[in-house]
Structure 1
Amino acid sequence: MSGPDDILPAYETEAARWARERNRTLWEEPALLATVAGRPPGLSVLDLGCGSGEPIAAWYVARADRVTAVDGAAAMIAQLRARVPQTEAIHADMRGLNLGRRFDVILGFNSFFHLCPADQRAMFPVFAAHSAPAARLLFTSGPSAGEAVGRVGGSPVYHASLSPHEYRDLLSANGFSVVWFRPEDPGLMGHSVRLAVAT
């Protein structure tokens, strides 16, 4: 069975194929719009597990926001630099990240859920340390606690989720409040998505 330690090697292997086949219909846009609602362009955005940068980082760049894109797979960062060169591209593991800067928007979209439960819990202080006042935090999880294995290209990939109650408690303990949680939302291609705001 694929585990969390296999994620970065899988994305190193699959980066070119993943970038080529990535759905670019921008089904994520309703969630992305919620992170910028009522705020003018020029926001600072931290995209954790950015992949190739298309379409999400590219969407913020087109809006004239400043995107710092982080991925633990060097092959993904190479795809990002080729496809969305306007970003600040950083090859780093999101776990334990310490950039010494704060951002208006933090994303863990279809990336955070590849971390094991213990590593997910440890990410909430990382989110807090990088959050500007009233920062929006957007991330995907599962609808309930559990682990699963999916596929990216020809590679199995691990996913995990905490319970909705535990996510709410972790957010609260680290200075965030939940704006909404949309479990398996048909309008978001069946993904379970949370939006929180730094309080």
Structure 2
Amino acid sequence: MSSDAEKIVGLYERHAALFAAERSTALFERGWLDRFLALLPERPAVLDIGCGTGVPIARHLMAAGCAVTGVDSSPRMIGLAQGNLPAGEWQVADMRTLALGRRFHGILAWDSFFHLGQASQRAMFPVFRAHAVPGAALIFTSGPAQGEALGRFGGEVLYHASLAPEEYRALLAAEGFRVVAHRAEDPECGGHTVWLAQLI
């Protein structure tokens, strides 16, 4: 199924308008986002990896006083984000090769990181570290257990993968992050499995 992971970039580019139309704006993520915000200083710089259209997550972060830099591999998604939130900074970039040369108080990879293959996920933790100031908060979503899963979006295969929880903990620790909170399939967050960590 690893070949399906390579199709994600093109899939979201082809279906950006559909994603924008179907993406819930109810902000069911609010509880976790507010825990993330509580770890940040005032007026923090936040990196949103796989930002999509910027709605609703980056919009919520900006309303809370964050200066958001959003990156996404889809030019159409970035175009939509620019239209939705012109005060943000938006860049087309593949998270796997991300090297902005800047560090942030907070890093977010919500419903984006889990589209990478398992080897690419492992390689992301040094990328997170390279973009984090001391004390930075990191929040991302994963699957609840090691494995790969295929969904459907826009009539095409939509790839997801996860490592085991124990491996995520080890990868975070290897880069100097401690786990602040973790919950698998959180019923208060639409069944998402969420990791919140902080660089120590």
> Could you say which residue in structure 2 is the equivalent of 1:47?
48
> Could you say which residue in structure 2 is the equivalent of 1:154?
155
Q: Is the 8 A contact 1:142 1:160 kept in 2?
A: yes
**1:56 maps to 2:66:** no
Please give the alpha-carbon distance, in whole angstroms, between the structure 2 residues aligned to 1:118 and 1:40: 33
% of aligned pairs identical?
51
Alignment TM-score, normalising by the size of structure 2: 0.96
Deviating more after overlay: 167-176 vs 146-155? 146-155
Please give the alpha-carbon distance, in whole angstroms, between the structure 1 residues aligned to 2:139 and 2:158: 21
Q: Is the 8 A contact 2:16 2:77 kept in 1?
A: yes
Q: Is the 8 A contact 2:71 2:91 kept in 1?
A: yes
What SS does the corresponding residue of 2:157 show, helix, strand or coil? Answer: strand
Deviating more after overlay: 99-108 vs 37-46? 37-46
Q: Is the 8 A contact 1:49 1:109 kept in 2?
A: yes
Alignment TM-score, normalising by the size of structure 1: 0.97
**1:82 maps to 2:83:** yes
In the comparison of the two structures, how many residue pairs are matched?
199
Deviating more after overlay: 176-185 vs 31-40? 31-40
Q: CA deviation at 1:141?
A: 0.4
Cα distance change on mapping 1:124 and 1:151 into 2, 3 Å: same
Q: Is the 8 A contact 1:14 1:154 kept in 2?
A: no
RMSD: 1.2
User: Structure 1: where are the runs of 5+ without partners?
Assistant: none
> Could you say which residue in structure 1 is the equivalent of 2:189?
188
Q: CA deviation at 1:155?
A: 2.5
Cα distance change on mapping 1:39 and 1:161 into 2, 3 Å: closer
